[in-house]
Amino acid sequence: MKKKSTYMLSSLIIIVLCMIIGFAALLISNNANKVLFKYHFKYAENQRIEQYFERVRATSILLDNLQYELNYTCDNQDIDTLEHASYFNAEIRRLSLRTPNGITCGDMVDTLNIYAKPKQEIYLNQQISLIANTSKDRTIIQYHRQILKGFMTVDITPQDPISLLKNECDGCWLQTVEGNGIILYTGNANRAESKIFNSPLQLNKDLTDQVVKPILSMPLLDNAWIKYYVADNVIQHYRENIRPYLIILLCSLTLILLVLMHRRFHNGKMLTFLLIKALKQNRLIPFYQPIVNAETNHICGYEVLMRWETKKGKIIPPDVFIPEAELNGLIVPMTVQLIETVAKDIKRLEVQHSIAPLPHYFSINVSPDLIQSTALINVIKMTLNKFKLQPHNFSFELTERTPISDFDKAKNVCDSLNELGIQVKLDDVGNGYCDFLALQKLQASTIKIDKIFVKNICDHNGMVIIESIVAFADKAEVEVIAEGIENREQASALLRAGVKYHQGYYYGKPVPFDKIKFNLFE
Ligand code: G
Ligand code: G
Ligand code: MN
């Protein structure tokens, strides 16, 4: 779980870092900026062309309807109809009709000065062509179509240049369309000579082998090429425009990176730091959950479950901090401190109930780290001496969340504990790393059946597993405790299976010392 989140955080950090490097390059490098400009430009131009085709499609639909309204004689009524259509449709700049008799009429009287002479025209397909206008600084898109009884020609309304060029100076950019040996252009070619090409140029002849490379060059319906030339100051201008956005983006990404790095590298450290403080301030306290002999309904002992009590009195459960404490080794001093606190509590109970020595055991969870260390023996010996307690007052539960690395060391510690008269229990049996090996090597006196098996006890298989654990325990001569008993049915099923020592919410939840149950029915 922890590893997974660390892995995810590391991947995120790498992704954000790459983004920061990319955006920083854009901020610093001219070339990176040029690349971005090119992509942005290409995207915008594709959209612009798509819009033109959209206009052609709209015009086509319009003609579908218009064809039934015409007389095809070019009389006043026809001219009215054409003028009306042109006036009310934004896509159409001019339209004309040629009748079957060869007469031509349109919405404009004077059409002579619209196209350049001689006419320069590139056909993209049978219906769409591009034509230079009179002053050769604009390309007109024309749509041709046979309708019911005549032939229509429509000049599509020109669009604004790409927004990236909109505010640029006169002659700072030039668009050309090349096809069929003809070059049409949009923009101020005369001024572009000095601003882009640094030399006078003869359009139609020079452009194709220009030394200045176009910033964009893309095919147009496979019959022509569209090319854009821009002066350096266009890219410069673009760079200045995006700079504030880049800076904001970079700052945000850096902030995100810092937060991610903090989480990645300091989360564990922060928890460790807080745990050390909690340890110093004795805020890691024991809760006690009774373990009951279900045949006699007597409490025979308690499992000690560590809790972290914050300054404000909030109780933090162990799964939040025990895994980290096991990783950083703090679990050892934490358990040592817990043993001493439990010893004091046992003493208090002896006084409260005027029973000494107390017959109950207090079962303390130990992680593999501690069961492999002789420190545990020294600590427990010292505690027994200091508080004048009996060995049967303590027992240890070995939790196997992490595997035991050195079985020989663990065995030595367990042997010494057994010699002292302190029992060792194997916790969560059926759910740990290597129960049987641990059982064989460590000579545990008791096994605790994991609560998952108790939960499923009503299934046939659940019962079979419990029965086989009991059969095994009988042979191996170890006691069995069942954990996680929450209701009477589970309790009686377990008794039937031969498990008499029970622990669970049904008998009592883990509670702090001042709420500890001494008798089951009090
Ligand atoms: O009490 P529950 O209370 O939520 O306990 C959760 C887990 O924390 C249990 O599996 C238990 O083994 C573990 N745990 C509780 N207290 C201790 C402790 O003092 N030491 C170790 N190593 N584990 C503990
Ligand atoms: O160390 P171990 O994993 O055995 O710790 C026991 C855990 O089981 C603790 O978290 C404790 O709070 C929890 N527990 C104890 N009794 C019950 C119970 O009846 N039901 C459930 N769901 N959990 C329990
Ligand atoms: Mn336990």
* Residues 6 or more apart in contact with residue 96 via CB below 8 angstroms: 82, 104, 105, 106, 107, 111, 152, 153
pLDDT given at position 403: 81
Distance 367 CA to ligand 3 centre (A): 10
Residue 326 CA: nearest ligand 1 atom is 22
* Ligand 2 pocket, residue 455 CB under 6 Å: no
Instruction: Output the pLDDT for position 2.
Output: 53
450 Cβ closer than 6 Å to some ligand 2 atom? no
Strand partners, 173: 230
Which atom of ligand 1 has the smallest separation from the CA of 307?
Answer: 16
Reference 399, options 367, 376, 430; nearest CA is 367
Integer Cα distance of 145 and 73 in angstroms: 17
Q: Is 139 in the pocket of ligand 2 (CB under 6 A)?
A: no
Is the CB–ligand 2 distance for residue 365 below 6 Å? yes
Residues of the chain falling short of pLDDT 70: 1-5, 200-211, 267, 432-435, 522
Q: How far is CA 43 from CA 110, 124, 146, 197, in A?
A: 38, 21, 34, 25
Tokens of 193: 């000579």
Nearest to 398 by CA among 383, 417, 378, 381: 417
Task: Identify the pLDDT of residue 205.
Answer: 56
pLDDT for 199 equals 72
CB of residue 485 inside a 6 A radius of ligand 2: yes
CA distances from 479 to 289, 303, 421, 444, 494 (A): 19, 16, 16, 9, 14
Phi, psi torsion values for 138, nearest 5 degrees: -145, 145
Q: Whose CA is nearest to atom 12 of ligand 2?
A: 510
CA–CA gap between residue 176 and residue 217 (Å, rounded): 9
**Which residue's CA is the closest to the ligand 1 atom numbered 18?**
365
- Nearest ligand, measured from the Cα of 395: 3
How far apart CA 452 and CA 470 sit, in angstroms, is 16
Contact 161 CB / ligand 2 (< 6 Å): no
Question: How far is residue 503's CA from residue 303's CA, in Å, rounded to a whole number?
Answer: 9
How many C-beta atoms surround the C-beta of residue 351 within 10 A?
Answer: 10
Please report the atom of ligand 1 found closest to the CA of residue 367. Answer: 22
Q: Which helix (H) or strand (E) holds 350?
A: helix 331-353
Bridge partners (DSSP) of residue 424 are 396
Report the distance separating Cα 72 and Cα 67, nearest Å. Answer: 9
CB 339 near ligand 1, within 6 Å: no
Q: Which atom of ligand 1 is nearest to the CA of 370?
A: 22
Residue whose CA is closest, atom 3 of ligand 1? 305
> Which ligand does the CA of 483 lie closest to?
2
DSSP per-residue codes, 146-197: E-SSSEEEEEEPPPPPPHHHHTSPTTSEEEEEEETTEEEEES-HHHHIIIII
Q: What is the reported pLDDT for 271?
A: 84
Instruction: Please tell me the distance between residue 348's alpha carbon and the centre of ligand 3 in angstroms.
Output: 23
The verdict on the CB of residue 333 being under 6 Å from ligand 1 is: no
Q: Is 318 in the pocket of ligand 1 (CB under 6 A)?
A: yes
Residue 510 beta carbon below 6 angstroms from any ligand 1 atom: yes
pLDDT score for 1: 44
Distance from residue 482's CA to the centre of ligand 1 (Å): 16
Question: Structure pTM?
Answer: 0.60
Residue with CA nearest ligand 2 atom 9: 305
Asked if residue 305 has its Cβ within 6 Å of ligand 2, the reply is yes
CA of 176 to the centre of ligand 3 (A): 80
Distance from C-alpha of 304 to C-alpha of 349, rounded to nearest angstrom: 15
Q: Is 207:183 a contact under the CB 8 Å cutoff?
A: yes
Ligand 2 center–CA 440 separation, angstroms: 25
